Chains A and B, each alone.
Chain A
Amino acid sequence: MNKEIWKEARKQYFKYFGIWFLILGILLAVWLAFAVYKRMTKAPERGNLKAPVERVYDYADVLTDEEENNLRAYIAKKERQMGMDIVLVTIKEDVEAGYSSWMYSMMNMADDFYDENLFGYDKVHGDGVLLLDNWYEDQEGSWFSAAGKPERRFAGYASDKVVDAVYNEIDKGPYRAYMAYIDTACSLMNNSDRTVIPILVILIAPVVAALIYAGRKMAQKKALDTTKTTEYVEGDKPVINQSRDDFLRKSVVTRHIQTSSGGGSRGGRSSSHVSRSGVRHSGAGRRR
Chain B
Amino acid sequence: MIFKCKNCGGNVVYSPEKKSMLCPYCDSLGSEEREEHPGQEMQLCPNCNGEIPVLEHASTAQCPYCDNYLIFDERVSGQYKPKMMIPFQIGKENCKKALRDKFKKNIFAPTDFLSEVRLNSMQGVYVPFWFYDYDANVDFTGEGTKVKSWTTGSTQYTETSYYNLVRNMDICFRKVPVDASIQMPDDVMDLVEPYTYEQFEDFKPEYLSGFFAEKYNITADLTEPRAKHKMNDDATQLLNQSMAGYGNIKIHNRQINIRNSASTYGLLPVWRYIYQYKGKEYPFYVNGQTGKIVGMAPLSKLKVLVYSTTIWALLTAVMLIINSIFRML
Chain A interfacial positions (CB closer than 8 Å to B): 5-6, 8-9, 12-13, 16-17, 20-21, 23-24, 27-28, 30-31, 34-35, 38, 191-197, 201-202, 205-207, 209-211, 213-214, 217-218, 220-235, 238-259
CB contacts (< 8 Å) of A221 on chain B: these are: 296
CB contacts (< 8 Å) of B154 on chain A: these are: 256-259
Closest approach, in angstroms, between the C-beta of B127 and any C-beta of chain A? 16
Asked if B238 and A230 make an inter-chain contact with CB atoms under 8 angstroms apart, the answer reads: yes
Q: How far is the CA of A250 from the CA of B307 in the complex (A)?
A: 60
The 5 closest A-B pairs by CB, nearest first: A206-B315, A234-B172, A210-B312, A242-B168, A244-B166
CB contacts (< 8 Å) of B321 on chain A: these are: 24, 27-28, 30-31
CB contacts (< 8 Å) of A201 on chain B: these are: 319
Asked if B158 and A206 make an inter-chain contact with CB atoms under 8 angstroms apart, the answer reads: no
A17 in contact with B314 given A193-B327, A232-B173 (CB within 8 Å): yes
Q: Which residue of B is nearest A215, CB measured?
A: B308
CB-contact partner of A235 in B164, B172, B295, B329, under 8 A: B172
Asked if A241 and B293 make an inter-chain contact with CB atoms under 8 angstroms apart, the answer reads: no
CB contacts (< 8 Å) of B143 on chain A: these are: 248
- Chain B 296-309, CB-CB to A under 8 Å as 1, else 0, gives 11010001101111
Asked if B138 and A238 make an inter-chain contact with CB atoms under 8 angstroms apart, the answer reads: yes
Asked if B319 and A213 make an inter-chain contact with CB atoms under 8 angstroms apart, the answer reads: no
CB-contact partner of B171 in A194, A239, A251, A252, under 8 A: A239
Asked if B170 and A241 make an inter-chain contact with CB atoms under 8 angstroms apart, the answer reads: yes
Q: Which residue of A is nearest B110, CB measured?
A: A5
What are 23 pairs between A and B in contact, CB < 8 Å? A8-B112, A12-B107, A13-B310, A16-B307, A24-B318, A31-B325, A34-B328, A195-B326, A205-B315, A205-B319, A206-B315, A209-B315, A210-B308, A210-B315, A222-B295, A223-B293, A232-B173, A238-B171, A245-B164, A248-B164, A250-B161, A251-B159, A254-B156
Q: Which residue of B is nearest A197, CB measured?
A: B319
Interface SS, A side: mixed
A253 in contact with B158 given A13-B306, A27-B318 (CB within 8 Å): yes
Asked if B191 and A243 make an inter-chain contact with CB atoms under 8 angstroms apart, the answer reads: no
Asked if B112 and A5 make an inter-chain contact with CB atoms under 8 angstroms apart, the answer reads: yes
Asked if A223 and B295 make an inter-chain contact with CB atoms under 8 angstroms apart, the answer reads: yes
Closest approach, in angstroms, between the C-beta of B274 and any C-beta of chain A? 15
Q: How far is the CA of A30 from the CA of B194 in the complex (A)?
A: 56
Q: How far is the CA of A88 from the CA of B317 in the complex (A)?
A: 40
CB-contact partner of B157 in A28, A230, A234, A253, under 8 A: A253
Asked if A213 and B308 make an inter-chain contact with CB atoms under 8 angstroms apart, the answer reads: yes
CB contacts (< 8 Å) of A209 on chain B: these are: 311-312, 315
